[in-house]
Structure 1
């Protein structure tokens, strides 16, 4: 039975955004991202085990494994709870394809840090955050006896329709494709030796960052995207070679826009950019470009145009009938040639998390680690806010720290106090 609209059915199709991941991911480009919560005391393993078992029952469509079909990969329900593991290795490692029954998310524990890692095939940041909040609700019930839930907005669990692929519902036949963008400049830095992925976390005061963005007439996402573009421009000018187009990919969530609650992938990307042939951009000019692009790319017609392009590829009769053993290497080659050429880096904002009640005092901070970047992209960033602090995380596959240093320098010059939390290799 097709489980697209029934989370308890035997199998589900991959959603439109997930279909590319089995073909392009591997030991380095893993497609895995992480949400971490730092607690005020060491994680109670018995409480976490009980909480994970309860919450996995609320999310049956997360209890799935990736299976290989003749034409496409698909998700098969197995009913298992997630693995709980010691957090002892590098972040965002791949999920093994050859292990029968392996789910596409896992829980990791180190001291007072509780992390959940998700394969992007399963969900995006919005769905992952919903699950993590639910896990924390149940964890604090068992670890601290708290009945006043820190995240009451998720206490009912997933709503009906949470397992639907909503991209197909916003497909418009006959929509013109978006304009082809010129190739973006890439950082010229050398790759680190394997294992390459390195994570660096910075912490800034949330209210001061919000005030800084507000004074500039922008959102926090726009302000930090402009900061990243500004730093990349400096590095491109200093290098003196490569494409003149510097472009940052900025994910945005479609759930709030459409008033829907799917926990599968349902987000798109805006691509603010600058062309240095036009001259050197001031920060204010870059911020203006970012705001214009974010406004344009989050317009309803633009959204439908991008969704329609993506879904039309999936519905192409020729693509549909090609066997998977041919389709996967073709998709991988096409992605490696055209995918990373679209942008220079990525920054994603998971927003503000606001717990309530006594459990709010038991959580010190949160962070989000973006998936390891393609070797052409080299560096990406993610951020999330809990309480008074915003944690900005850079994920990198190069040993060069110019982007991180430039980013911190720009924020401190604007009056923000920046604290380095940790570096993990």
Structure 2
């Protein structure tokens, strides 16, 4: 327990600075984890569990403030209140005119939701929070299971480890290199939803069924689904655009490559490029080339180089002296230019593990994200694989193509959506 330990203020980490400067009405930089139970959520118990959980994550009790040169997190006396779900998925949390907490906990029937502003934490950090919340909830609801649930705590990092800025800690491990050559990617276009509204489509399927298919092609689940996503996008583009490569941006948890237990942001992006006109459009070609792309990008050396480049920009002497309002303008321009180099984003959160005694109570865990275009997220719990599309485009043919590929291969898919047809 970390009761009584607080933080007066924290500098934002490298990723947090970008989200704080570039989020807006179109892309709120909010993501949501939901945990579906086999029984209705008890609001009072969830509130008690949240009160216990927040003691272990002190930097979550912060508001975002702007200084002369950078945004920063300031400790706040505000405390989170659990409430019934009453707004759209990934709606704005951060309001520049109101200093509120940067996360929200809600529930609806048998589902509890945790939404977080990305400047505060990344997927892995928020999963630590969510798993702790779930464990406290069921230990309160079923006291006889308390010792079994917490026999091995879901997150054992120290106070300093949870709040560490791992970007800054590991900066300089690799000598900085020149930026990679800029590549103009194929861009998805179309009529968009109203600002701040997202088309959310979730496909639920057997994780083992998809793993079996992936193994058939000697691929990981991530590579296999990435290849299907490329195929789904290619099917919708005009022939005149086939010379432009489809580029997937894939967030990578850097904790797998650096010894970090931080509950703040610590991830990097790799980009996997596929040129259908050169590499072919058969599923075997797609999987083979996608697999090669991941292998080339997911090396410790390249991740070191990317981390060094990110921190080198932040630490540049001239940039450090530029006032915040000018930095924000520069970062927004830089992000727009960066977006021109990607077609879509695919994020695999991976397999979420909870203590064995919770098996009869937790049915499924899923994740949704805000986006300025189209993004796919995948997340599994036991044999339930959740694949969620977030999109600002009214057209849903890419999503249909993706799920049609799976069903044609024999995978049963349950579709849930907020899209009205």
Which TM class, normalised by the smaller chain length?
over 0.9
The partner residue of 1:15 within 13, 16, 39 is 13
Name the SS for the 1:272 alignment partner.
Answer: strand
Distance 2:19 2:240 in 1: 34
**1:35-56 Cα deviation digits (max 9, x unpaired):** 0011111111110111111110
Residues 24 and 288 of structure 1: is their aligned pair in 2 closer, same or farther, counting only changes over 3 Å?
same
> Who is 1:340 aligned against?
339
- 1:7, distance to aligned residue in structure 2 (A): 7.0
1:6-155, aligned counterparts within 5 Å?
Answer: 8-98=6-96, 100-145=98-143, 146-147=145-146, 148-149=148-149, 152-154=152-154
Residues 169 and 158 of structure 1: is their aligned pair in 2 closer, same or farther, counting only changes over 3 Å?
closer
- 1:155, distance to aligned residue in structure 2 (A): 5.6
Deviates more, 1:262-271 or 1:187-196: 187-196
**1:333-387 Cα deviation digits (max 9, x unpaired):** 2322x121121011111111232333221111111002x221xxx2111111112
> Who is 1:395 aligned against?
390
CA contact (8 A) 2:211 2:221 kept: yes
**1:62-103 Cα deviation digits (max 9, x unpaired):** 111100100000001115432323212211111142465511
> Who is 1:3 aligned against?
none
Residues 394 and 142 of structure 1: is their aligned pair in 2 closer, same or farther, counting only changes over 3 Å?
same
Q: Using structure 2 for the length normalisation, give the TM-score.
A: 0.93
Residues 215 and 150 of structure 1: is their aligned pair in 2 closer, same or farther, counting only changes over 3 Å?
farther
Residues 234 and 55 of structure 1: is their aligned pair in 2 closer, same or farther, counting only changes over 3 Å?
same
Structure 1 spans left out of the alignment, 5+ residues: 1-5
> Who is 2:297 aligned against?
297
The reply to whether residue 189 of structure 1 matches residue 187 of structure 2 is: no
Distance 1:403 1:100 in 2: 38
Distance 2:284 2:74 in 1: 50
> Who is 2:226 aligned against?
225
Residues 323 and 348 of structure 1: is their aligned pair in 2 closer, same or farther, counting only changes over 3 Å?
same
Distance 2:250 2:221 in 1: 12
Distance 2:175 2:115 in 1: 38
> Who is 1:311 aligned against?
311
Q: How many residues align?
A: 414
Residues 295 and 99 of structure 1: is their aligned pair in 2 closer, same or farther, counting only changes over 3 Å?
same
Distance 1:252 1:332 in 2: 22
> Who is 1:198 aligned against?
199
- 1:233, distance to aligned residue in structure 2 (A): 1.6
CA contact (8 A) 2:131 2:354 kept: no
The RMSD of aligned alpha carbons is 2.1
